Chain A
C-alpha cells in the first residue's frame, strides 16, 4: 500500500497544484514541494531501516486491474528501485526549487506536469507488471512533452516533437515485444499474465528471444540514449527549462538504464549474452563519440547534454559485462550522473538567468564575479571527469573493473573516454569561469535558494564519492543476472 501511495501523492499533488494556481501562484510551488518531500521522507525512512538480511523484495502490493488479460496493479520494491526512488524525489524536490523564480507563467500547469512526470517515473521504478510498465512508460511522455514545448527556449516545439516521436517509436516496439512475450508465455504454460515474476522464466526459442530482446532494448537505448538513437537528446535538453533538463538528465534517462537492468537482462539472459559484444561496442562508441561532440559544442546546455550520451555509454558497457562489480558500478553511475549532470544543468540555468546566453564563447572570466558558483561548478566538473573522491569516480572505476573481466579491448577504449571527459570538462571551466570575457557583465552570485540547492547536490556527490558503501550495499541486494 505504501508503494501505491508513493505514486498517488504526486498525482494528487499535481491536480491540486493545478487547481490551487487559480488562487495564488505560490501555492502550487508549496504543494509540489510538500508532496515530493513527503515522498522523499518515506523513501528515506525505508532506506534507513533497510534490513541487512532477508529477501530481495521489501514491499509488495498486488491487486487486480484488468483480470481479463492478466493485468494487475503489481508493485514491488527492492534495492535498485529504492535507490532510484530516493534519487527521483530528491531531484524532483530540487526541480521545484529551481523553477521557483524561473517559471512565472502558467505556474499551476507547470507543476501539474512536473508532478505527473515524476509519478510516471515512480511508476516505472516500482511496477512489476509489464503492461503497467508500458503504461507508466508512456504516461510520463506527455507531461514531459508539455514541459519542453511550453516553457522551453526558442526552438522548443521542434525539440519537444522530436523527443516525443523518438521515445514513442521506441515504446511501441517495446509494446510489441511485451505482447509477444505475453502470448508465448501463455501458449507454453496456459497462463496469460503480464506478471514480471511469472514471465521471468518463459521458455522460448533462442531466435524468438533475440527478437524480443531487441524490441525492449531499442526502447531503452532510445531513452538512455545510446548512439545511434541519441539525436533527440541534445535538442530536448537544450530547449527544456532548467527543471525539465534536470528531470530529463537525472531521471528520464535512468528509466532506460533501469529497464535494461530490470527487464532486458533477467528476461533474456542468453540473448543478452549473445548480443553483449555489440551492445558494449555501441556503449563505447557513445562514450567516445558523445564526448567528442560535447567538446565541439558552444552551447553550454548542449555541451552538457552530449556529456550525458558519453556517461550513459558506461551504463551500457557495464550492464552487458555480466558481473556483479559492473552492476554495482552501473547503479552508482546512474545516481552519480543524475546528481552531477543535474547540478551542471542547474548551474547552466542559473547562468542563463543572469546573462541570457548559453554560448560559452560569450562568457569567460566569471569566477571573479561569482566565486561561489565557480567553485560549485568546479566540483561538478571534476565529478564529471571522474576525479577520485566524487561519486562518478567510484561508478566508472567499478564499471571498468567489471568490464575488464568481460572484454579487455572494450575496457581500454572506454577508459579513453575518461580522457575525452577531461578535455570537455576542463573546457567548460576554462571558457566560462577563467580566461578573458569578451563582454562585461554585472552579476550577482548564488542567492540563498540556489545555495541550498547546490549545497545539497555537493553534499550528495561528495557522500557518494567518499562513502559509497550504503548505496553499494543496497544495490547488492538486488538480483541482477550474473553469468
Chain B
C-alpha cells in the first residue's frame, strides 16, 4: 500500500484501529464512561480523517476499493450517523446492561463494515464489508441478553443473514463464471462486449439481489425487518435502519452504474417490481401495527421502495435524489428512534402507540421533535423529507416513470395515514391511571442531540441549496 492509499482510507483505518484499542481498554479496566468517551473520540477522528482523504480523490486502491467524492460523502454520512447513534446510546445502556462495554466494540465494527461497502467496487470487498457488518450485527441485535425478544431477533437475523450471504456468494460465482471478472467495471465491460445478458449472469444477478435485497429489507426479503427492529436494542434498530441499509444501497448504486444496469431491461424490471411491491407491502402492513418500532420497520421498507423509484428513473437527477433522500432519511430515522430512546424507561422500551398517548401535553418538547420527524417521513414541507421526496418525484418525472410515480403517490397517501395516527395519538387526552413505560426525566445528552437533529431537519427543508450543490458536484464524479 502506498502513502496515498493510507490517507485515502484514513477514516476506515482510524475507526478499526480504534476498535482494537478500545478492546484493549476494556481488557485493562471495564469502565462504561471511558469506553464511551473513547468511542466518541474515535468517530470524531475518523470524521477528521476525511479531510486529508479528500485531497487525493478520486483515488483507487486496485482492484478492491475506490475512494471518490461519492464514497467520501457517504463515509461522512455514515460516520456522523454512527456518532449520533452513539451519543444516544449511553443512557440507554447505562440503565439496562451490566456489561455494556462490548457494545462499543461492536458498533464501530459494524460501522466499519458499512464503510467498506461504501468504498468497494469489487465482489471481494463487497462480501468482506457485508460480513463485517452482519457479524457485528448478530451480537448487537442480541445484546440485551436478558430480554427474550432480543435473543430471538439475534438468532433470526443470524440464520437469515447467513442464508442470504450464501445466495449472494452463489450469485457472484455465477457472474464470475461467465464474465471472468469480479470488479464492477470489468463486469460491465464484459457484458457490454457480449451485448446482452446471458441467462447464467441474469440468474447470478437475481441471486445477488436476494442477498442485497435482504440487507436493504425490500419485499420479498423483508420478513425479518419488523421482528428485528422490535427485538433489537433501540440504538441498534436505528443503526440497522440507517447505516446498514445506506451502505448496501451505496454499493448497489455503484454496481448498477458500473454495469450500465439501465441498458438491460430485465434488470430494470426486476428492480421495478421489487420497488412497487416494497412500497405497497411496507405501507399496507404498517397500517395494521400498534407498535411504533414495527411501524418504523414497515415504513422503512416502503422508503426503500421510494428510493428505488429514483434509482430506476435512470437519470442523473435520480442518483442525486437518492443521496439527498438518504441524508434526510438518516436524520429522520435516527431522530425518530432517538425519541423512542429518550422516552424508554429501563423496564421496557416505550414502543406501543398507547405509550405516546397525550405526550404532547406532558413532554411538549419531545413530542414536537417526534412530530417533526414523522412529518419528514411523510414528506411534508418545512422538513428535509419533503425536499427529499420532491427530489425523487422530480427524478421520476424527468425519467418519465409515470407508472412508478403514480404508485409512489398512492403510497405516500397511505403512508400519511399511519404517520398522522401516531401524531394524533400524542395529542389525545392523557390516559389516567395506566402504567406506561415512559420515564419521568429525560437525559440531557439525548435532548441536545434531538434538538440538533431537528434543527438540521428543518434547515435542510427550508434551505436545501448547499446540500444539493454538494451532491450534484459529487454525482458528476461517478457517472
Interface residues of A (CB under 8 A from B): 65-69, 106, 131, 135-136, 138-139, 141-142, 145-146, 149-150, 157, 160-161, 164-165, 168-169, 172-173, 175-176, 179-180, 182-183
Contacts and interface: CB of A to CB of B under 8 A. Distances in A.
A139 B413 contact: no
B409 A66 contact: no
B469 A183 contact: no
Interface string B366-409: 00000000010000111000100010011001100000010001
B465 A66 contact: yes
Contacts of B472: 68
Interface centre among B375, B424, B469 (most CB of A within 10 A): B424
- Sort A-B residue pairs by CB-CB distance and give the 7 closest, nearest first: A179-B397, A172-B409, A138-B381, A169-B413, A139-B381, A68-B468, A66-B465
B8 interface: no
B58 to A, nearest CB: 23
B413 A142 contact: no
Contacts of A179: 393-394, 397-398
A138 B469 contact: no
Given A68-B469, A68-B472, A165 B409 contact: no
B242 interface: no
Given A146-B427, A168-B416, 17 more contacts: A66-B465, A66-B468, A68-B465, A136-B381, A139-B382, A145-B420, A149-B427, A157-B424, A161-B421, A161-B424, A165-B413, A165-B416, A168-B412, A169-B409, A169-B413, A183-B397, A183-B398
Contacts of A182: 394, 397
B409 A176 contact: yes
A175 B390 contact: yes
A142 B386 contact: no
Contacts of B393: 175-176, 179
A169 B411 CA distance: 10
Nearest to A150: B427
B395 to A, nearest CB: 9
B417 interface: yes
B430 interface: no
A165 B411 CA distance: 11
A180 B399 CA distance: 10
26 contacts: A65-B463, A65-B465, A66-B465, A69-B468, A135-B381, A136-B381, A142-B375, A145-B420, A146-B427, A149-B424, A149-B427, A157-B424, A160-B420, A160-B424, A161-B420, A161-B421, A161-B424, A164-B416, A172-B409, A172-B413, A176-B393, A176-B405, A176-B409, A179-B398, A180-B397, A183-B397
Contacts of A176: 393, 397, 405, 409
Contacts of A141: 380
Nearest to B378: A168
Nearest to A175: B393
A308 B106 CA distance: 62
Nearest to B397: A179
Interface centre among B381, B405, B463, B465 (most CB of A within 10 A): B381
B261 interface: no
Contacts of A161: 417, 420-421, 424
Given A139-B382, A142-B375, A180-B397, A66 B412 contact: no
B413 A67 contact: no
A146 B382 CA distance: 16
B386 A138 contact: yes
B464 interface: yes
Contacts of B464: 66
A158 to B, nearest CB: 10
A135 B389 CA distance: 12
A160 B428 CA distance: 13
Contacts of B412: 168, 172
Interface of B: 361, 375, 380-382, 386, 390, 393-394, 397-398, 405, 409, 412-413, 416-417, 420-421, 424, 427, 463-465, 468-469, 472
A43 B382 CA distance: 26
B302 to A, nearest CB: 15
Nearest to A180: B397
B45 to A, nearest CB: 33
A68 B409 CA distance: 24
Given A149-B427, A179-B397, A180-B397, A138 B420 contact: no
Nearest to B390: A175
A21 to B, nearest CB: 11
Contacts of B416: 164-165, 168
Contacts of A168: 412-413, 416
B409 A173 contact: yes
Nearest to A211: B402
A136 B361 CA distance: 28
A314 B347 CA distance: 61
A136 B381 CA distance: 8
A138 B424 contact: no
A333 to B, nearest CB: 29
A210 to B, nearest CB: 14
A142 B464 CA distance: 21
A83 B150 CA distance: 62
B397 A165 contact: no
A365 to B, nearest CB: 36
A221 to B, nearest CB: 16
A471 B394 CA distance: 40
Nearest to A136: B381
B205 to A, nearest CB: 31
Contacts of B469: 68
Contacts of A65: 463, 465
Nearest to B408: A172
Contacts of B397: 176, 179-180, 182-183
A183 B402 CA distance: 13
A141 B380 CA distance: 9
B475 to A, nearest CB: 12
Contact of A138 (B380, B398, B409, B413): B380
Nearest to A67: B465
A176 B380 CA distance: 15
A149 B428 CA distance: 9
Nearest to A173: B409
A74 B382 CA distance: 17
Nearest to A184: B397
Nearest to B421: A161
A309 B239 CA distance: 50
Nearest to A138: B381
B463 to A, nearest CB: 8
Contacts of B413: 165, 168-169, 172
B417 A142 contact: no
Nearest to A186: B398
Interface centre among B416, B427, B468, B469 (most CB of A within 10 A): B427
Contacts of A175: 390, 393
Contacts of A157: 424
Interface centre among A68, A138, A150, A161 (most CB of B within 10 A): A68
Contacts of B417: 161, 165
A149 B420 CA distance: 10
A112 B410 CA distance: 31
A103 to B, nearest CB: 15
A161 B415 CA distance: 12
A85 B97 CA distance: 59
Nearest to B405: A176
B310 to A, nearest CB: 13
